[in-house]
Amino acid sequence: MPEERRGVGPRGVVLIAIALAGVWAAVALELAPQGLIPSSGGLRVARDLLSRAVSPALSYEAEVPPGTTPLLLKAGEAAVATVTFAAAASSLALAVGLVLGFLGSSAWWAGDAAGGEGRWGRVVQRGAAPALYGLTRLLIAFMRSIHELVWAVLFLAAFGLSNLSAVIAIAIPYAGTFAKVFSELIDEAPRDAAHALRAAGAPPSMIFLAGLLPRALPDMSAYAFYRFECALRSSAVLGFFGFPTLGYYLAASFENLHYGEVWTYLYALLLLVIAVDRWSGALRRRFVA
Amino acid sequence: MNDADGAIRRLYRQRPRSRFLRLSAALLLALVAYAWLGGDFGAGGMLSPRRLANVERFLGEIRPFPLQGRDFEPAIFVRWLGEVMAEKGWHAARVTLELAVAAIVLAAVGGLLLSLPAARSWATPEPYLPSPRPPGRWRRASWRAVVASARSLQILLRAIPEYVWAFLFLALIGPTAWPIVLALALHNAGILGKLGAEVVENLEPQPLRALRALGADRRQIAAAGIFPQVLPRFLLFFFYRWETCVREATVLGMLGIPSLGFWILDARARQLYDEMLVLVLLGALLVIAGDVVSAVARGVVRRAA
């Protein structure tokens, strides 16, 4: 009879630690189940809100001055603005993230890419390259660690409301994330082509551009597209801070108790995200086959 | 040499081409071009003289208040920093962490429960082995409905941002920690559920088939066959998502729960930009610390696998 395994393995320890941490957090936050029961006011809101889920508003629920854009057109405009902000932000983030991702990948600096022969080559290898690599990693971590909404609050405080500041607020943490993931993808890409190119005597820049990069490109594209979907959500939420995206109208309708309109904007956001999710799924199947 | 050139040209002509990929790329480029040309994102609005004066004032005010208008003295700075931290910093950081932990544990439970009915290999009338009597059309249809509804629920949970969920829940259950924990938990349960379902579908079927042949029912296969195999991958996803929970918990406080985001907005409203900057950097430190903890934990899980 095989010896029975006794005690708790490392994975068990992790599971127990997670459970204990959860209990600690729930106790500290006073998360009692009865806290989930809405107040009578909350119940009324819940009933009114949920009852409109199947009948989103098709026109405004209150009198509007003549000449106001019809509700559905307004929702369409807000959706277009959401896409516009997301596209501008993710394209900017992609450009910055690609540069930082190259600089932050160890393959880029691994000996041959940065170096060269001779005295200057050695100086670059020993001193400049590790310093630049470390600085890039630090910069990436810093950009990522501040949330886009916090960047937005900072820019709002410094510049006031301007569309460009929303785009930059999203682009900074996204560029950091792109850089982190891209550098990892490049470092993990198969090295077969790079080795073959090196054996054939190709210069370091060609080894990187023609040997490593193409192997990482499908995954990089798929990831970039996934981040575009995330940018849509971020851009919608920035509306809560006064930018003309879906969140702005959603919050305004909710505060005016126009729950039908809330659902109109929610469904617009849902359609947008699901459409991009489907599109990116179809792309991934063709790309990463 | 000519032969080689010809071969290269031939290979180039035979490269895989997909109209769908090209169309998608063109559409994306058009979208980006439209955004930058038509989206009113010029720098002019940001750099008008009035705005620049505002920026200058802002940069002056992020200097710690007791140090404004005098030389920098480390002792004063340290005392000021200690006061800000004692007054709100430590407490806000703790609440942020607690929110993230409570939310991810709930999300993990929800995600695990959601991943099974969304996995086509498990949620079928004949899991892993054909049954002796072929299931009727009605049973097939009802299992397909289970998968479809589990997946739609996941998409719904994922597609609505945490911030919007929290905003709605706040009106329903009032200003406790619940709206934020629930919002984070629901959104992440959708994501973990999707990832979990993919892992379940990609499992090696042999051990599960053997369990089935021994007469295990669906629940027993899940407990004895699927769960132990899925656990390592699921834990990796769990820690990845916990990192983002820490990030989001910082921000969700802006809706009125005293995590870091709440005090950041509060400082902004009272134009205490020096305090605001400290809290922002504290949040950044917390996120970086969370990344490190998560990386260590993922390392433990990987080694155990």
Structure tokens at A98: 């690609």
pLDDT digits (tens, 9 = 90+) for A191-229: 888 888 888 888 888 888 888 888 888 888 888 988 999
| In a domain? residue A22 | no
Three-state SS for chain A is CCCCCCCCCHHHHHHHHHHHHHHHHHHHCCCCHHHHCCCHHHHHHHHHHHHCCCCCCCCCCCCCCCCCCCHHHHHHHHHHHHHHHHHHHHHHHHHHHHHHHHHCCHHHHCCCCCCCCHHHHHHHHHHHHHHHHHHHHHHHHHHHHCCHHHHHHHHHHHHCCCHHHHHHHHHHHHHHHHHHHHHHHHHHCCCHHHHHHHHCCCCHHHHHHHHHHHHHHHHHHHHHHHHHHHHHHHHHHHHHHCCCCHHHHHHHHHHCCCHHHHHHHHHHHHHHHHHHHHHHHHHHHHHCC
**A13 is a domain residue:** no
Rounded (5°) CA angle B14-B16-B19:
120
In a domain, A81, yes or no: yes
Whether B181 is covered by a domain: the verdict is yes
* A85 touches B: beta carbon within 8 Å: yes
The pLDDT value recorded for residue B200 is 92
Establish if A269 touches chain B: CB-CB under 8 angstroms: yes
Q: Which residues of chain A are within 8 Å of residue B283 when distances are taken between CB atoms?
A: 145-147, 150
> Is position A2 within any domain?
no
Q: Is B270 helix (H, G, I), strand (E, B) or coil?
A: coil
Q: What is the pLDDT of residues B113-165, one digit of tens each?
A: 999 999 988 988 888 888 778 888 898 899 999 999 999 999 999 989 999 99
- What per-residue confidence (pLDDT) applies to A168? 93
Residue A12: closest CA among B301, B95, B24: B301
Q: Report if residue A23 sits inside a domain.
A: no
Domain of B288?
74-304
Q: 20-49 in A: which are within 8 Å (CB) of B?
A: 21-22, 24-26, 28-31, 35-39, 42-43, 45-46, 49
CATH of the domain at B126: 1.10.3720.10
| Residue A18 pLDDT exceeds 80 | yes
**Residue B36: inside a domain, yes or no?**
no
pLDDT at B196 over 90: yes
**Cβ contact B99–A29 (<8 Å):** yes
Structural domains counted in chain B: 1
* Residue B15 is assigned to a structural domain of this protein: no
Q: Is B138 among the domain residues?
A: yes
Number of compact structural domains in chain A: 1
Phi, psi of B272 (to 5 degrees): -95, 75
Residue A8, domain member (yes or no): no
ipTM comes to: 0.86
- Domain CATH code at residue A218: 1.10.3720.10
Asked whether residue A24 is domain-assigned, the answer is no
Is A50 touching B (CB cutoff 8 A)? no
**Can you give the pTM of this predicted structure?**
0.87
B26 within a domain of the structure (yes/no)? no
Mean pLDDT of chain B: 88
Q: Would residue B264 count as lying in a domain?
A: yes
Instruction: From chain A, pick out residues whose CB is under 8 angstroms from the CB of B248.
Output: 147
CA distance A125 to A137: 17
- Digit-coded pLDDT (tens) for B70-88: 777 888 888 888 988 888 8
Domain range for A197 is 71-287
DSSP B231-267: HHHHHHHHHHHHHHHHHHHHHHGGGTSSSHHHHHHHH
Distance CA A239, CA A235 (A): 7
Q: Which three-class secondary structure state does DSSP give residue B191? A: helix
CA distance B238 to B188: 9
**Nearest chain B CA: its distance from A195 CA (Å):** 20
Give the tens place of pLDDT for each residue, B228-277. 889 988 999 999 999 999 999 999 999 988 899 999 999 988 888 889 99
